[in-house]
Structure 1
Amino acid sequence: MVNLNVFSQILSLIDRELFKDLVAKHKSDKHCKGINSWTHLASMLFCHFSSADSVRDISNGLRSTTGNLNHLGVGRAPSKSNISYINKHRGHELFKDLYFSLLDKLWQKDTHLRKDLTQLKRKVYLMDAGIIPLCLSVFDWARLRSTKGAVKLHTVLDYDGCLPVFMQITDGKVHESQRAGSYSFSKGSVVVVDRGYVDYSWLGDLDSRGCYFVTRSKTGMKYSVIKSYQSEALLKKGIIKDEIITLSGSSANKYNSKPLRRVHFWDSTTGNQYHFLTNNTGWKASLVANIYKQRWQIEIFFNHLKQRLKVSSFVGTSENAVMIQIWTSLIGILLLKYLQKKARYDWNLSNLVRWIDDPFIRPPVNGKNGQLQIFSD
């Protein structure tokens, strides 16, 4: 069970004045039935950190947890009916705005050191969509197929820090290419996507805006080779062939007729071949392959969201309740990653979540148990 002393330290990361301004903007405390927006936020974050399976678990957990709820800024633990009501009727936009405000004021004010791509002095964005399956008979508003339901998280992840700078939540049947143009990338940035996003009109738009893209070329793509480079030196780096190409047929009409780069890469670990497509003709071929390799970070992010926070199952069935749970999960993972970055100890995210859930675990220091402190000095 989450210890309130630890939980209150996590909540203290949220600027209460910032939160009050957002509450006033959205008028979310109007007709609040005695459960204000802060109590609502604390309850939903408690849901994520304690892995609560129902509104009853949230209510009973807050009532039974050792500590004074006043430390959380909460007057009393809400009942399960209170939580169900506010999840259905209090707009999720408050929590969406809070996430992006915290991202701007808490997270992005710090420098994020890259573990890879250090030679690339540009912003890198990873774009993908994550599916969360839902039971259609319960969540009848989230249709994917005739017998299945789902919501889809259309996400743009900033490679520096690996948190979303954009997210649009739709029902599961909306294809990712339909939302590709929803986010405007800054000039000079690098956009990394899988081939599900390969729409030549959109790629041409990125190029005309001065952005670079790295993706995988579609099977059966029609093109003509202008130049082709092969060498033993390239092969040692896994590069089978490095080509400058132009698109043919209808694809050429959709794109802007400028040359493209197609890098044929062999992964010695898996034995698989990959064909990368980019509009940057100046990078080393090995860098193109490495840039696409970093796309895996967005898969890791989705896994953290589903496995470390409460996003694989929901405590409410209305669309608004699901949206609230997703946006508060993003707030939760932002706070966790901030703790991870500022912590005295070198935690991985799963161990940090476990420690928050069981705060009597002592992080080891030189093989011995250390003192229980969250932040470094």
Structure 2
Amino acid sequence: MDKDTLFSSFGKWVAPLNRKLISDWTLEFGDDRYVKKLHTLAYLLIFIDAQLQQHRGLRDIVADIQHHEGFHSELGMDSISTSQLSRKNNKVSPELLQQLFCDLVGQISKQSQPDCSRIGNVKLLDSTTVSLCLSKYKWAEYRKTKAGIKLHLRVAFCDPDTVYPEKAVLTSAKPADRTEMDSLIDETHVTYLFDRGYLDYAKFNPYSLDRIFFVTRLKDNAIIESLEEFNVPEHSLMTRDPMVKLGQGKKQTNMVFRLIETTDLKGKAIRILTNRFDLTAEEIGDLYRNRWKIETFFRWIKQHLKLTRFYGEQEHAVWNQIWICLIAYALLLLTKLELSTSKSLREVGRLLKVMRFRYWSEFREVVHRKLLRSSKGRQKVSKS
């Protein structure tokens, strides 16, 4: 019997949380001083589970705690009130949750296999805007009639079918995507994929000098100067592959870049800009097509962790829930990696939802159980 057999599935799922980091933080800032019941760790466990269960509000969370004995042993309590949850959610520092998320990212990075191909390390940049009701979230106003927040995200490849969030910046919905380029693009010998919202010609020169690589899409009205054409293989989906400079006059870039021209499925022209000259035009095109994986990630967390539904209206409460959502995703991915299962992350999460207070050994057995076909379908009856 291994040492994890008597763990509950829930306990094993949240085990990667850095308890020492939480303890050191609460001791330094006194967050749990005079707290008798809802200490910071219990708050985290409750709200991480709420994201997995997709609870609609604080009342649903309270009801879940009261009706599940498994929660009583995990939390060391059998009841809690909505007002206690609300106060704690407004009080906990988003910076603590950000540090916990970064710690989990480090654990994922150690378990994921590095890309040994000649393409190397690839990361994706994008942002998603979450609309909010202006009357309830006035602090997040960005238009006269709208409120909203923006999650700027960098994700890394874990394997060909999986990406994981690696770095996040939370802002109101006002700032343009390119304002966060310095925060998200900070590593050399990495290829960053991003869309036209991150175009900033002034940054492209130092990127090339510092060996920071990028693949992006050029705007239709961009001014370019073609210098030399590379040969495009016959029957290639790429139509042109020239070396170019961007802009004109004093604003023209000093460095030379590469412009790959192709068309989409509707026949519309697409111009892909990069500073990688060691790859073929087809490889550059394939790289850019991978950018859709970050869109898939945003869709996943909005659908399966309900990022769009918030349990509080104050600024801290909203930021905290976004960090907790990212933490829940990271914990799910760590669980999937530990189990070495071919099941999708969605399937692992679905099984965890219904088995979270069963023994870890039972959960592990179900995850690895092969589905048996119980029906052969309609059988054609032969006439004798």
**Which TM bucket (shorter chain)?**
0.7 to 0.9
The equivalent residue for 1:375 is: none
How high is the sequence identity, in percent, across the aligned residues? 24
Query: 1:91, 1:77 → 2: CA distance?
Result: 24
**Aligned counterparts of 1:327 and 1:358: Cα–Cα separation in 2:** 24
The Cα offsets for residues 214-270 of structure 1, whole Å up to 9 and x where unpaired, read as 100111111111112354x35x331111111122326x6263x11110001234x55
Q: For residues 243-258 of structure 1, what are the structure 2 equivalents within 5 Å?
A: 243-249=242-248, 253=251, 255=253, 257-258=254-255
CA RMSD of the aligned region, Å?
A: 2.4
* 2:319 equivalent among 317, 323, 326: 323
TM-score (norm 2): 0.85
What TM-score does the superposition give when structure 1 sets the normalisation length? 0.87
The answer to whether the 8 A contact 2:149-2:171 is kept is yes
Report if aligned partners of 2:226, 2:244 keep a CA contact under 8 Å in 1: yes
Cross-structure match for 2:175 = 174
Change (3 A) 1:15 1:282: closer
What is the DSSP-based 3-state SS (H/G/I as helix, E as strand, rest coil) of the residue aligned with 2:110? coil
1:232-311 correspondence runs (5 A): 233-234=233-234, 236-249=235-248, 253=251, 255=253, 257-267=254-264, 269-311=265-307
Stretch of structure 1 that moved more, 31-40 or 333-342: 31-40
User: Aligned partners of 1:183, 1:340: CA distance in 2, in Å?
Assistant: 26
- Residue 110 (structure 2) aligns with: 109
Kept in 1: contact 2:58–2:311 (CA 8 A): yes
- Shifted more, 14-23 versus 189-198: the winner is 14-23
Cα distance between partner residues in 2 of 1:11 and 1:238: 47
1:1-377 to 2 correspondences below 5 Å: 5-32=8-35, 34-67=37-70, 69-70=72-73, 72-104=74-106, 106-112=107-113, 119-160=117-158, 162-231=163-232, 233-234=233-234, 236-249=235-248, 253=251, 255=253, 257-267=254-264, 269-343=265-339, 345-359=341-355, 362-363=366-367, 365-368=369-372
Q: Match for 1:110: what amino acid?
A: Q
Q: Is the 8 A contact 1:177 1:197 kept in 2?
A: yes
SS, match of residue 67 in structure 1:
helix
Using a 3 Å threshold, how does the CA distance of structure 1 residues 263 and 184 change in structure 2: closer, same or farther? closer
Structure 2 CA distance for aligned equivalents of residues 248 and 67 of structure 1: 63
Q: Structure 1 residues 74 and 98, CA, compared in 2 at 3 Å: closer, same or farther?
A: farther
The change in CA–CA distance for 1:5 and 1:200 in structure 2 (over 3 A counts) is same
Distance 1:139 1:190, change over 3 A: same
Q: Residue 144 of structure 1 aligns to which amino acid in structure 2?
A: Y
| Alignment partners' CA distance in 1, 2:252 and 2:132 | 36
> 1 CA distance for matches of 2:236 and 2:27?
56
How many aligned residue pairs are there?
356
For structure 1, list consecutive stretches of 5 or more residues without a partner in the other structure. Answer: 370-377
Distance 1:17 1:77, change over 3 A: farther
Q: Given residue 89 of structure 1, which amino acid in structure 2 is its aligned partner?
A: K
Structure 1 residues 289 and 26, CA gap change in structure 2 (3 angstroms): farther
Measure the CA separation in 1 of the matches of 2:294 and 2:274.
19
Distance 1:282 1:21 in 2: 47
- State the shift of 1:162 in Å: 2.3
Does the residue aligned with 1:44 lie in a helix, a strand or coil? Answer: helix
8 Å Cα contact 1:158/1:165 also seen in 2: yes
Question: C-alpha distance in 2, partners of 1:29/1:277?
Answer: 51
CA shift digits 1:292-337 (9 cap, x unpaired): 1121121111112111113111011101000111001111000111
The 1:103–1:21 alpha-carbon spacing in structure 2 relative to 1, beyond 3 Å, is farther
SS in 2 for 1:108: helix
Kept in 2, the 8 Å contact 1:23–1:94? The answer is no
C-alpha separation in 2, matches of 1:35 and 1:67:
17
Deviations 1:153-208, CA, capped at 9 Å, x for gaps: 11111234622332111111111111111235222211111011101112223223
Distance (whole Å) between structure 1 residues aligned to residue 268 and residue 369 of structure 2: 42
State the one-letter code of the partner of 2:49.
F
Q: 1:156·1:167 contact (CA, 8 Å) conserved in 2?
A: yes
Consecutive unaligned residues of structure 2, counting only runs of 5 or more, are 1-6, 374-384
Q: Distance in 2 between matches of 1:164 and 1:109?
A: 14
* Alpha-carbon distance in structure 2 between the residues aligned to 1:273 and 1:200: 21
Larger radius of gyration: 2
Q: Which residue of the partner structure matches residue 372 of structure 1?
A: none
Aligned equivalents of 1:325 and 1:319: distance in 2?
Answer: 10
Instruction: Report the Cα offset of residue 113 of structure 1.
Output: 6.0
Secondary structure, aligned partner of 1:130: strand
**Can you list the C-alpha shifts for 1:6-46, whole angstroms capped at 9, x where unaligned?**
32221223243343234334443235463100111011112
**Contact 2:261 2:269 (8 Å CA) reproduced:** yes
Compared CA separation, residues 274 and 364, structure 1 to 2 (3 A): same
